[in-house]
Structure 1
Amino acid sequence: MAQPIDDWTGYDPDFLGIPVPLPKPLGAQEVVDLAYPRFTVLLEPARRLAVVTGVNIDGASLHDLERRGRWELDDRVPVDDQAGPGVYVDNDLDRGHLVRRRDPGWGTVAQAQAATAATFVYTNAAPQAAHFNQSKELWLGLEDHVLEYADTTDQRLSVFTAPVLAPDDPPYRGILVPRRFWKVAAWSPAGDQPLAAAGFVLDQTDLIDTGEARGIAPLGGFRTFQVPIADIEALARVDLGELVEADVLGPKAGARGVEWEPLHAASEIVLA
Structure 2
Amino acid sequence: MEGYDPTFLGPVVPLPVPAQRVRTLPSTHFTVLLDPVRRLAAATAVTVDGTVLRDVPRGDDWHLDPRVPADEQAGPELYARNDLDRGHLVRRRDPVWGEPGVAARANRETFAYPNAAPQASGFNQGRDLWLGLEDHVLEHAQAQRLRLAVLTGPVLAGDDPVYRGVGIPRRFWKVVAWALDAGRRLAAAGFVLDQTPQLRADELAARTHAAAAVDDPPPLGPFRTFQVPVADVADLTGLDLGPLPAADVLAVTAPQALAWRELSDLAEVTLR
TM-score normalised to the size of structure 1?
0.89
- CA–CA separation in structure 2 for the residues paired with 1:42 and 1:203: 21
Quote the residue 1:228 is aligned against.
229
Find out whether 1:97 has 2:88 as its counterpart. yes
Match of residue 111 from structure 2: 120
Please, which runs of 5 or more residues in structure 1 have no aligned partner?
1-7
Does the 8 A contact of 2:228 with 2:259 survive in 1? no
Task: Judge conservation of contact 2:87–2:117 (CA < 8 Å) in 1.
Answer: yes
Q: 3-state SS of the aligned residue for 1:99?
A: coil
**C-alpha distance after superposition, 1:189-245 (max 9, x if no partner):** 236960000000000011897652257767xx3100000000000001111111000
User: Number of residues paired by the alignment?
Assistant: 259
Post-superposition shift, 1:254? 8.8
Cα distance in 2 between the residues matched to 1:192 and 1:119: 28
Determine which structure has the larger helix proportion and give its number: 2
Q: Mean alpha-carbon deviation: is it higher for 245-254 or for 87-96? A: 245-254
Q: Distance in 1 between matches of 2:113 and 2:159?
A: 22
The yes-or-no answer on 1:16 pairing with 2:17 is no
- Whether the 8 Å contact between 2:10 and 2:183 is mirrored in structure 1 is no
- The answer as to whether partners of 2:160 and 2:169 remain within 8 angstroms in 1 is yes
Q: Which residue does the alignment assign to 2:52?
A: 61
State the alpha-carbon separation in 2 of the partners of residues 120 and 192 from structure 1.
32
In structure 1, give the amino acid aligned to 2:4.
Y
**What is the distance in 1 between the residues matched to 2:261 and 2:10?**
33
TM alignment of 1:1-272, pairs within 5 A: 8-25=1-18, 27=19, 29-190=20-181, 194-206=185-197, 211=209, 212=211, 213-214=216-217, 221-250=222-251, 260-272=260-272
RMSD of aligned alpha carbons: 2.2
Structure 2 CA distance, aligned partners of 1:270 and 1:46? 36
Q: TM-score, normalised by structure 2?
A: 0.89
Task: Note closer, same or farther for the CA distance 1:193–1:180 as it changes in structure 2 (3 Å cut).
Answer: same
| Alignment partner, residue 3 of structure 1 | none
Q: How far has the Cα of 1:99 moved from its partner?
A: 0.4
Deviation at 1:252, TM superposition (A): 10
What is the rounded CA distance, in whole Å, between the counterparts of 2:253 and 2:17 in structure 1? 21
Q: Per-residue deviation at 1:69?
A: 3.7
By how many angstroms is 1:261 displaced? 2.1
Distance 2:100 2:183 in 1: 35
Percent sequence identity over matched residues?
56
